[in-house]
């Protein structure tokens, strides 16, 4: 019995020993060498790295869904196109008609998620700004906040234009947030852009590497947002922003940014430069007010730094130097081709690949749905002279051509439209750069400016919003009137009439389908847009 | 007297009735007794049976045999002796003479009452177990000659559903005990000689002594950390202490060939061209081929025939020695296994395993201290075909992308294998169609397999433990065990340059990948065990604690560019000498671009994962009649935030051995043993990702390219997860009621179990709304899943005459799986899109009221036969499918709203088997032995999709029954170029997945007795066939489809029963020898 007691004591001692060491045993440090939200956001350097993560959000937003080409598809510039045996999703979007591809109920799901991931990155960084030990770098703090808010505004502006009513989050949350009305979202966008415009230094654009948000980018985007909001909703002010403040913003860019037009329009675009054997102006040229930067390092291992959407607009399946092949989306409507003065306007060759006009031995017309003989050129993939797609490491996800989100010509034309006293001069700068032989205009109307914008920005995802900001009825009737209906092939066996097309666009009010997976996940808190 | 008693027991009328009935058989005749002597011998081993009970039927006196098996008893001529011994079939002998000596041979029984069951930190005799467990002897597994022990376990234990995830050698297994309790990893916990692991493929089945499956919560409880999905305890072979035998050496070896099961029939060239013509016509296009052209095409290439090799070798050799003395015991083993893959043959995929196994135990200080160890070292060397990567089960080959076999289904028979020079023919250079290529998008699948399957992985694993057990006094045992699970692996792969096989399939630059990883888990378990009796009450008390810590790291890299040797064998990172490649082969062009392709490297340490547990158990028995067991455990895990790390899990079980009651004593001639069991208990699960409670900052994949240079990146970071602090242990609660019985002189052994298992506080990575901002869904608690079922295990053995003995054993289980609730706004975990075919919609889900992973789609109602049919098929708003043509499929407007849309989709099939069964026959005649093992499932559905919606893929011959005119078919729609009838998911894709497989037939003959060599106790030659025949309605190559599709978030793989071109299980024929000295 004595022995038993002794052993029980021994056991108890052992148990205690194990117990006391146990707490330590279960205490975890981050042995997986990762930072957490608790350990991070300490130094200005942490803040900068996080800021770069927000910029990476801009590479992310169109990864998986080619939104810039789709913005062209929505407009009267082009058809959905794509492969002859592909699904009819792009035709559905082209015609604003869900019946064409009824199973495409979440076609924008990828983009919707990506935009909110970018916004989340911005919101988390803004929330943690005050945890950073800034010391005397308060100017840096303000600058970083300005850049983050610009990126957030850029994303919300896409979302609100595409879907109109979207959940508006300015702090991170997992809550089931209902959609905000457009006024709230535009209000927030303007607050962010005004903060950025007022906070970023008035230094020439060359003072920072291309890709960084500048005061000039913020002011230009502010004007673009104003024009769209005031145009579509017919309201003259968003918060304290009016036509006057928007004009002042772009006039400031024109006066102080150092931005300018490049001499030869063609040199703005890699494929056109190669085809015309002129030197590409590069991605850091004076005309780029704001661009989304892509690099040739993108891969399938999660490194989303390449331009993954350009391949959608490449010629279907066949490379013909210097045009690399792609999936044949955005086939150009001959009606757009007809708008150009082909022999004088340098923008025609720079913007549109004319299979017959350029004597291209293209043999894949039958593989391309809604083939028209014309492809978009500005964001065409390129190939080498042996017709190998470039870049060699992966032409699908490592295209490096930047997206020029705001060009200086847009700034000039916005200023003209907003009623600048120099409107005619601004217009002529743009017009005569494109057509050097053109005589200078002596007066410009809004219609002249919109017509000029159509030719200037073909393939850049701007036309549709220029239409929509003239009101849904103008947008719908213009698109219906300009579309070569006979070229539509949407799998239904019949082409829609112009009035059907107009009615469909009108029914959606010009907005897109909210992805059904998100509506389901929200258990109906998110409401579908009419017409979808 | 009896009547009086009965009156007192009026409360128990049933017992009374039984007692009366049974006692009436008693006979009271008595004459003179004579002395009968006899010897009881085990029929199988020839060893004497000690302690056998010898009774005279109808009388109360009984004697036991001594250690030499000898007994004597007084009996009369004409009486019947009953000789019974636990573990043997009882025998009755009519005494025909007044005296004499009897020689009694007892057959071993299928009954398992005396089997020692491993129950976690101890052993228990089967008859005393109060939980639901299944015990399978190692020899029953080893006899099936499988490469992996889990495959041998198929169908042997009721309620254990085992599915191979690929027929490729080295492929894994999915094991569900009593249904899937989660959409996540529902595999059980494996405990090998007391050390926890998640994978037992490293074991050679020949080294396994026994497998015990702990199915109910009360059984699993003592090992219950992460025991929510059940526990599989594996005991490896040990020597026996105290054995008189100085030791024995055994050798087992087999060699055989593997072949593909009957292959899916694909269209030949002529049939394919005919079908393409029909599809073109139905799509408003001109036909592609004239009849003369079709006639000239011949049969074309059968790509499945090309992909499968024949007579692929499989072999295994195992040499072992076991033995022991009074003070020590040992077991040594050495084995080698090799298995080639039937797809491409052993040059394309192969699996080799070398095992060294040693178990030893030594008693010291007169048995007061025992020390010992279990140790297995295994080295696995494998390579194989490319598969879609699956996060849960590792490399698998069953998805739509990168699936080597799938492309063989879809490539047209028009493409030839070789060109005139004997090289793989590029589809660009094919001349089959009007002198030119038919489809430049299709690539030779065999060539792709050869190019893309150049890889090798070598894994070393050291697994085992060292223990000491102190017995300071009788009945008290203190045991400490230190275990190690160490694994390291190294892999490399090489992608050669190859010219265009199609417009998409080519590789311009050699690529080398190389990587390695190491992981180690250390556990330390301490237990104290005290047994004592108070009169008829016996107690067995156990207390203990266990700690466990997992660590590891990995490193790897990739290099692109030309290599020094341009071969796989020498394809390692440093043999690639060029790290910068020109972006353009055209260096003179204005667009000359060069990218410096730095060797990409990665590496990290894994998160440390630690667990600690404290537990106690009391086993109680009253006269071996009333049994009870109570367990309580506290488990801590670093998976949860400090403050929520601990979970508490109680369990309780009781048993009643009715046959030990006196009122049943007389029924023992036919009812030898009867036990009722009941248990209730809970187990935990912490299977989530590390640091779920923190928002982690990712420093990877967040770079940005400021400036004018297209390759220079600035590092970025972003919060990649959302921390959820409230997450706690998941609990599975299970109630079990069971009966164990042995009947008919122990010849028949039966167990029946009923269970109800509810997984509560389910740990689920519930899909977040996009607005949450991260693509990784954090784990939260919520929702629950119920599995209810019945299990039946039966075994019968008997002998006919002197030379023929036989046994039949079977298992059957019925399980019903229901998701009760999912903690998201919509109550659904959505299946992934793009996983059935390119651009496919969601087709499976987990949602409330349905089984996990049910197929979600449209119901169909046959085909439109005429244009009038189309008009007549109307809902409340007129025709439901106005644009349909005759031959198109009718979708059912389930909700009657007059529109066919997503709201009409419903549960169109359950991939979970409802019935799982196995049946085994074993017989011995003289020196021959024969065993037939079968297993099967029923009630499950399979979704089959071998083809994308593109126009030009090949079809299986099932398409020949398509609609091609009124009345030609009401189930297989017309062919069209856009495959519109197949674009949405409907029950057209659903097939019955039930099957019954003859998994093994073995015939052996033992020459040992003929040879009459000293010490040779067995020299058995055998032939065996595995997977010989499968009875099934399923038209794919293998109805046991273990591939799982991932859900919408990419986290879970619960989309079961999806056949996208699945690597079938091979058919094996082997010849072997088994020698024991």
pLDDT of residue B121: 74
Q: Is a pLDDT exceeding 60 seen at residue A519?
A: yes
A14 contacts B723? CB cut-off 8 A: no
According to DSSP, the residues that pair with B327 across neighbouring strands are none
Q: Which residues of B touch A400 (CB under 8 A)?
A: 705, 710-711
End-to-end Cα distance, chain A: 84
Q: Which residues of B touch A6 (CB under 8 A)?
A: 472
Give ∠ CA B57-B61-B62 in degrees, rounded to 5. Answer: 85
A297 contacts B711? CB cut-off 8 A: yes
| Distance to chain B for A511, nearest Cα, Å | 19
- Could you give the percent of chain B with pLDDT greater than 90? 30
Structure token pair of residue B607: 């998160």
Distance in angstroms (rounded) separating the CA atoms of residues B779 and B824:
12
pLDDT of residue A404: 97
Closest-CA residue to A30 (of B518, B690, B729): B690
Q: Is a pLDDT exceeding 50 seen at residue B30?
A: no
Q: Is a pLDDT exceeding 60 seen at residue B477?
A: yes
Quick one: CA torsion of A72, A73, A78, A84, rounded to 10 degrees? 140
For residue A331, name the pLDDT band (cuts at 50, 70, 90): very high
pLDDT tens digit string along B696-735? 898 888 999 998 788 788 999 999 998 888 899 988 888 9
Q: Is B767 part of the contact surface with chain A (CB cutoff 8 Å)?
A: yes
Arithmetic mean of pLDDT, B195-214: 85
pLDDT of residue B858: 94
Query: What is the β-pairing status of strands A179-180 and A166-167?
Result: antiparallel
Q: Is a pLDDT exceeding 60 seen at residue A241?
A: yes
A85 contacts B950? CB cut-off 8 A: yes
| Distance to chain A for B294, nearest Cα, Å | 23
Question: Which candidate from B586, B638, B707 shows the least CB-CB separation from A209?
Answer: B707
Arithmetic mean of pLDDT, A408-428: 97
Strands (E), B189-239: 189-192, 195-197, 208-214, 231-236
Query: A465 or B194: which carries more pLDDT confidence?
Result: A465
Q: Tell me how far CA of residue B456 lies from CA of B381, B386, B435, B445, B460, in angstroms.
A: 7, 12, 41, 21, 13
pLDDT tens digit string along B264-312? 999 999 999 999 999 888 888 889 999 999 999 989 999 999 999 999 9
Query: Which residue on chain B is closest to A282 by alpha carbon?
Result: B708
Q: Are B71 and B40 in contact, with CB atoms under 8 Å apart?
A: yes
pLDDT of residue B393: 36
Please state the separation of Cα B763 from the chain's center in Å.
Answer: 22
Arithmetic mean of pLDDT, A263-290: 94
Mean of the per-residue pLDDT values of chain A: 91
pLDDT of residue B22: 41
According to DSSP, the residues that pair with B91 across neighbouring strands are B83
Task: Count CA atoms closer than 13 A to A163's CA, side-chain side.
Answer: 27
A7 contacts B478? CB cut-off 8 A: yes
pLDDT tens digit string along B107-143? 766 555 556 666 667 767 777 777 788 888 888 888 8
Burial of B342 (0-12, 13-18, 19+ CB in 10 A): buried
Q: Is a pLDDT exceeding 90 seen at residue B172?
A: no
Q: Are A335 and A87 in contact, with CB atoms under 8 Å apart?
A: no
pLDDT of residue B98: 64
Distance in angstroms (rounded) separating the CA atoms of residues B651 and B937:
31
Q: Is a pLDDT exceeding 90 seen at residue B1063?
A: no
Give ∠ CA B334-B338-B339 in degrees, rounded to 5. Answer: 150
| Distance to chain B for A439, nearest Cα, Å | 33
Q: Is a pLDDT exceeding 80 seen at residue B28?
A: no
Query: Which residue on chain A is closest to B610 by alpha carbon?
Result: A26
Q: Which residues of A touch B703 (CB under 8 A)?
A: 52, 56, 297, 303, 305
Closest-CA residue to A92 (of A82, A83, A104, A100): A100
pLDDT of residue B976: 87
pLDDT of residue B161: 84
Q: Are B456 and B491 in contact, with CB atoms under 8 Å apart?
A: yes
For chain B, the residue count is 1077
Mean of the per-residue pLDDT values of chain B: 83
pLDDT tens digit string along A466-489? 999 999 999 999 999 999 999 999
| A20 contacts: CB under 8 Å, gap ≥ 6 | none
Query: Which residue on chain A is closest to B824 by alpha carbon?
Result: A521
Closest-CA residue to B111 (of B797, B625, B664, B929): B797
Question: Which candidate from B604, B769, B828 shows the least CB-CB separation from A176?
Answer: B769
A120 contacts B775? CB cut-off 8 A: no
Region of poorest pLDDT, from B28-32, B812-816, B998-1002: B28-32
Arithmetic mean of pLDDT, B328-354: 91
For residue B452, name the pLDDT band (cuts at 50, 70, 90): confident
A492 contacts B716? CB cut-off 8 A: no
Quick one: CA torsion of A336, A339, A341, A343, rounded to 10 degrees? 30
Residue with tokens 């007059």, as numbered in its chain: B898
Strands (E), B131-285: 133-137, 160-164, 173-177, 189-192, 195-197, 208-214, 231-236, 248-259
Distance in angstroms (rounded) separating the CA atoms of residues B762 and B732:
8
Arithmetic mean of pLDDT, A298-321: 89
Q: Which residues of A touch B562 (CB under 8 A)?
A: none
Arithmetic mean of pLDDT, A99-116: 89
Arithmetic mean of pLDDT, B513-527: 91
Query: What is the β-pairing status of strands B1058-1059 and B941-944?
Result: parallel
* 707-726 in chain B: CB under 8 A from chain A: 707-708, 710-719, 722-723
Structure token pair of residue B457: 């992985």
Burial A443-470 (b: 16+ CB within 10 A, else e): ebeeebbbebbbbbbbbbbbbbbbbbbb
Q: For testing the chain A interface, which of B592, B717, B948, B984 should be mutated: the one with the most A CBs within 10 Å?
A: B717
- In a 3-state reduction of DSSP, which class is residue B566? coil
B699 contacts A35? CB cut-off 8 A: yes
Q: For testing the chain A interface, which of B437, B578, B691, B771 should be mutated: the one with the most A CBs within 10 Å?
A: B771
pLDDT of residue A232: 97
Q: Are A401 and A379 in contact, with CB atoms under 8 Å apart?
A: yes
Distance in angstroms (rounded) separating the CA atoms of residues B281 and B274:
11
Q: Which residues of A touch B610 (CB under 8 A)?
A: 25-26, 28
Q: Which residues of B touch A390 (CB under 8 A)?
A: 583-584, 591, 593
pLDDT of residue B4: 42
pLDDT tens digit string along A171-226? 999 899 999 999 999 999 999 999 999 999 999 999 999 999 999 999 999 999 99
Q: Is a pLDDT exceeding 70 seen at residue A31?
A: no
| Distance to chain B for A274, nearest Cα, Å | 7
- Cite the DSSP H helix spans in A80-214: 89-95, 109-128, 138-163, 182-199
A491 contacts B978? CB cut-off 8 A: yes
Residue with tokens 């079977």, as numbered in its chain: B810
pLDDT tens digit string along A49-69? 999 999 999 999 999 899 999
| A494 contacts: CB under 8 Å, gap ≥ 6 | none
A56 contacts B716? CB cut-off 8 A: yes
pLDDT tens digit string along B797-810? 888 877 888 889 99
- Could you give the percent of chain A with pLDDT greater than 70? 93
pLDDT of residue A397: 83
pTM, entire model:
0.80
Q: Tell me how far CA of residue B670 lies from CA of B430, B663, B744, B745, B748, in angstroms.
A: 76, 14, 4, 6, 10
Residue with tokens 């809550």, as numbered in its chain: A175
pLDDT of residue B594: 53
Closest-CA residue to A336 (of A307, A374, A364, A303): A374
Q: Is a pLDDT exceeding 90 seen at residue B173?
A: no
pLDDT of residue B423: 93
Q: Is B606 part of the contact surface with chain A (CB cutoff 8 Å)?
A: yes
Region of poorest pLDDT, from A305-309, B235-239, B750-754, B908-912: B235-239
pLDDT of residue B100: 67
pLDDT of residue B34: 77
Q: What are phi and psi of A498, to 5 degrees?
A: -60, -35
Arithmetic mean of pLDDT, A354-367: 92
Q: Which residues of B touch A273 (CB under 8 A)?
A: 590
């Amino acid at each position: 019995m004595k022995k038993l007691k002794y052993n029980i004591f021994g056991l108890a001692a052992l148990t205690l020993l194990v117990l006391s060491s146990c707490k330590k045993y279960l205490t975890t440090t981050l042995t997986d060498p990762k930072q957490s939200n608790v350990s991070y956001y300490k130094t200005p350097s942490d803040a900068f790295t996080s800021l770069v993560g927000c910029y990476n959000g801009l590479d992310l937003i169109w990864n998986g869904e080619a939104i810039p080409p789709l913005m062209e598809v929505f407009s009267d510039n082009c058809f959905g196109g794509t492969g002859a045996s592909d699904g009819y999703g792009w035709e559905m979007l082209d015609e604003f008609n869900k019946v064409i591809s009824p199973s495409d109920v979440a076609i924008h799901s990828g983009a919707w998620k990506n935009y909110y991931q970018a916004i989340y990155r911005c919101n988390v960084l803004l929330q943690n700004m005050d945890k950073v030990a800034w010391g005397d770098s308060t100017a840096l703090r303000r600058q970083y906040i300005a850049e983050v808010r610009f990126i957030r505004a850029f994303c919300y502006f896409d979302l609100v234009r595409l879907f109109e009513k979207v959940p508006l989050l300015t702090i991170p949350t997992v809550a089931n947030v209902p959609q905000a009305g457009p006024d709230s979202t535009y209000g927030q966008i303007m607050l962010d852009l005004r903060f950025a415009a007022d906070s970023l230094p008035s230094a020439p654009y060359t003072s920072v590497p291309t890709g960084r948000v500048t005061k000039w980018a913020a002011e230009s985007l502010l004007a673009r947002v104003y024009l769209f909001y005031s145009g579509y909703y017919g309201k003259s002010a968003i918060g304290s922003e009016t036509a006057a403040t928007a004009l002042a913003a772009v006039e400031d860019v024109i006066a102080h940014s150092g931005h300018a037009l490049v001499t030869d329009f063609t040199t703005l675009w890699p494929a056109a430069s190669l085809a015309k054997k002129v030197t590409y102006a590069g991605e850091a040229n004076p005309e780029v007010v704001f661009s989304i930067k892509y690099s040739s390092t993108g891969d399938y291992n999660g490194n989303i730094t390449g331009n993954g959407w350009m391949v959608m607009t490449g010629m279907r399946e066949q490379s013909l130097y210097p045009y690399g092949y792609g999936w044949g989306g955005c086939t150009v409507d001959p009606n757009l081709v007809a708008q150009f003065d082909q022999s004088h306007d340098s923008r025609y060759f720079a913007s549109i690949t004319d299979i017959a006009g350029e004597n291209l031995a293209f043999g894949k017309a039958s593989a391309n749905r809604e083939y028209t003989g014309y492809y978009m050129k500005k964001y065409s993939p390129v190939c080498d002279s042996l017709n190998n797609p470039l870049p060699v490491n992966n032409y699908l996800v490592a295209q490096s051509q930047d997206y020029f989100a705001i060009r200086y010509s847009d700034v000039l034309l916005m200023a003209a439209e907003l009623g600048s006293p120099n409107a005619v001069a601004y217009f002529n700068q743009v017009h005569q750069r494109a057509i050097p032989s053109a005589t200078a205009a002596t007066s410009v109307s809004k219609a002249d400016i919109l017509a000029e914008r159509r030719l200037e920005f073909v393939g850049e995802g701007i036309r549709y919003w220029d239409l929509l900001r003239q009101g849904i009825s103008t947008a719908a009737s213009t698109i219906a009137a300009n579309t070569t209906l006979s070229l539509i092939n949407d799998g239904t066996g019949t082409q829609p009439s112009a009035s059907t097309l107009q009615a469909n666009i009108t029914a959606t009010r010009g907005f897109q389908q909210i992805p059904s997976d998100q509506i389901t996940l929200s258990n109906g808190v998110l409401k579908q847009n009419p017409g979808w | 007297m009896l009547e009086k008693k009965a009156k007192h027991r009026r409360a128990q009328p049933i017992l009374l009735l039984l007692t009366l009935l049974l006692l009436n058989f008693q006979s009271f005749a008595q004459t003179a007794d004579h002395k009968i002597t006899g010897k009881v011998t085990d029929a199988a081993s020839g060893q004497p049976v000690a302690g056998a009970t010898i009774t005279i039927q109808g009388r109360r006196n009984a004697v036991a045999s001594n250690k030499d098996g000898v007994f004597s008893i007084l009996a009369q001529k004409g009486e019947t002796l009953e000789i019974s011994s636990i573990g043997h079939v009882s025998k009755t002998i009519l005494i025909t003479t007044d005296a004499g000596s009897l020689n009694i041979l007892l057959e071993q029984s299928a009954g398992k009452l005396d089997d020692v069951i491993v129950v976690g930190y101890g052993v228990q005799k089967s008859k005393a177990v109060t939980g639901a467990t299944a015990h399978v002897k190692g020899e029953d597994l080893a006899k099936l000659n499988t490469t992996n022990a889990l495959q041998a376990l198929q169908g042997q234990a009721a309620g254990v559903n085992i599915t191979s995830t690929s027929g490729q050698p080295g492929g894994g297994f999915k094991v569900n005990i009593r249904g899937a309790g989660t959409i996540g990893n529902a595999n059980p916990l494996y405990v090998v000689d007391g050390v926890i692991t998640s994978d037992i493929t490293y074991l050679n089945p020949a080294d396994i002594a026994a497998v015990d499956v702990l199915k109910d919560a009360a059984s699993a409880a003592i090992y219950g950390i992460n025991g929510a999905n059940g526990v599989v305890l594996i005991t490896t072979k040990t020597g026996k202490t105290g054995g008189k035998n100085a030791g024995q050496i055994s050798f087992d070896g087999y060699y055989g060939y593997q072949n593909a099961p009957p292959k899916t029939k694909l269209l030949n060239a002529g049939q394919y061209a005919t079908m393409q013509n029909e599809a073109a016509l139905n799509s408003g296009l001109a036909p592609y081929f004239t009849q003369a052209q079709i006639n000239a095409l011949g049969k074309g290439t059968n790509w499945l025939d090309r992909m499968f090799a024949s007579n692929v070798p499989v072999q295994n050799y195992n040499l072992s020695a076991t033995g022991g003395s009074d003070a020590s015991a040992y077991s040594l083993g050495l084995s080698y296994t090799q298995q080639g893959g039937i797809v491409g043959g052993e040059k394309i995929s192969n699996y080799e395993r070398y095992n060294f196994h040693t178990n030893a135990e030594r008693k010291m200080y007169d048995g007061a201290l025992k020390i010992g160890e279990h140790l297995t070292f295994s080295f696995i060397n494998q390579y194989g075909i490319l598969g879609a990567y699956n996060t849960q089960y590792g490399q698998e080959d069953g998805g739509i992308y990168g699936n080597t076999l799938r492309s063989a289904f879809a490539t047209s028979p028009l493409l030839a294998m070789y060109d005139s020079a004997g090289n793989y023919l590029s589809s660009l250079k094919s001349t089959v169609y009007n002198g030119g290529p038919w489809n430049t998008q299709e690539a030779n699948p065999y060539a792709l397999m050869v190019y893309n399957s150049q890889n090798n992985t070598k894994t070393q694993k050291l697994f085992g433990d060292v223990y000491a057990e102190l017995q300071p006094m009788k009945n008290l045992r203190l045991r400490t065990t230190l275990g190690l699970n160490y694994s390291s692996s190294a892999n490399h792969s090489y992608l050669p340059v190859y010219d265009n096989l199609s417009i998409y399939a080519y590789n311009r630059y050699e690529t080398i990948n190389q990587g390695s990883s190491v992981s180690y888990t250390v556990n330390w378990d301490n237990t104290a065990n005290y047994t004592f009796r108070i009169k008829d009450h016996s107690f067995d008390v156990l207390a203990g604690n266990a700690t466990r810590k997992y660590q590891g790291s990995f490193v790897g890299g990739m290099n692109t560019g030309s290599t020094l040797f341009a071969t796989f064998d020498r394809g390692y990172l440093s043999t690639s000498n060029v790290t910068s490649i020109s972006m353009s082969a055209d260096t003179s062009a204005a667009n000359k671009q060069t990218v410096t392709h730095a060797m990409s490297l990665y590496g990290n340490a894994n998160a440390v994962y630690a667990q600690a547990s404290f537990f106690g158990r009391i086993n109680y028995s009253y006269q071996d009649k009333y049994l009870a067991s109570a367990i309580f455990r506290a488990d801590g895990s670093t998976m949860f935030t400090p403050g929520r790390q601990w979970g508490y899990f109680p369990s309780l079980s009781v048993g009643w051995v009715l046959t030990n009651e006196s009122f049943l004593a007389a029924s023992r001639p036919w009812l030898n043993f009867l036990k009722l069991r009941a248990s209730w208990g809970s187990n935990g699960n912490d299977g989530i990702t590390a640091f779920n409670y923190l928002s982690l900052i990712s420093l990877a994949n967040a770079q940005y390219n400021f400036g004018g240079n297209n390759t220079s990146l600035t590092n970025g970071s972003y919060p990649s997860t959302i921390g959820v602090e409230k997450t706690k242990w998941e609990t599975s609660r299970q109630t079990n009621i069971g009966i164990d019985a042995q009947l008919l002189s122990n010849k028949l052994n039966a167990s029946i179990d009923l269970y109800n298992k509810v997984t509560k506080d389910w740990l689920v990575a519930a899909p977040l709304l996009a607005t949450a901002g991260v693509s990784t869904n954090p784990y939260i608690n919520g929702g629950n899943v119920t599995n209810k079922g019945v299990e039946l295990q039966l075994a019968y053995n008997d002998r006919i005459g002197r030379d023929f003995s036989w046994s039949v054993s079977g298992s059957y289980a019925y399980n019903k799986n229901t998701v009760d609730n999912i903690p998201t706004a919509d109550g659904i975990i959505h299946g992934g899109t793009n996983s059935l075919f390119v651009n496919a919609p969601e087709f499976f889900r987990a949602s409330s009221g349905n089984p996990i992973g049910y197929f979600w789609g449209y119901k169909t109602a046959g085909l439109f036969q005429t244009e009038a049919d189309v008009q007549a098929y109307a809902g409340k708003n007129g025709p439901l499918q106005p644009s349909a043509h005759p031959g198109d499929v009718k979708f059912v407007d389930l909700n009657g709203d007059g529109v066919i849309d997503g709201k009409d989709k419903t549960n169109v099939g359950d991939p979970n088997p409802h019935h799982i069964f196995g049946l085994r026959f074993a017989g011995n005649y003289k020196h021959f032995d024969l065993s037939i093992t079968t297993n099967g499932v029923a009630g499950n559905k399979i979704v089959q999709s071998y083809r994308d919606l593109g126009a030009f893929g090949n079809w299986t011959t099932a398409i020949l029954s398509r609609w091609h005119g009124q009345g030609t078919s009401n189930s297989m729609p017309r062919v069209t170029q856009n495959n519109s009838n197949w674009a949405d998911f409907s029950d057209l894709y659903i097939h019955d997945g039930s099957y019954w497989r003859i998994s093994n037939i073995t015939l052996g003959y033992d020459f040992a007795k003929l040879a009459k060599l000293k010490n040779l106790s067995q020299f058995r030659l055998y032939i065996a066939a595995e997977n010989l025949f499968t009875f099934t309605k399923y038209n794919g190559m293998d109805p046991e489809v273990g591939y799982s599709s991932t859900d919408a978030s990419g986290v879970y793989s619960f989309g079961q029963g999806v056949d996208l071109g699945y690597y079938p299980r091979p058919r094996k024929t082997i010849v072997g020898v088994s020698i024991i000295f």
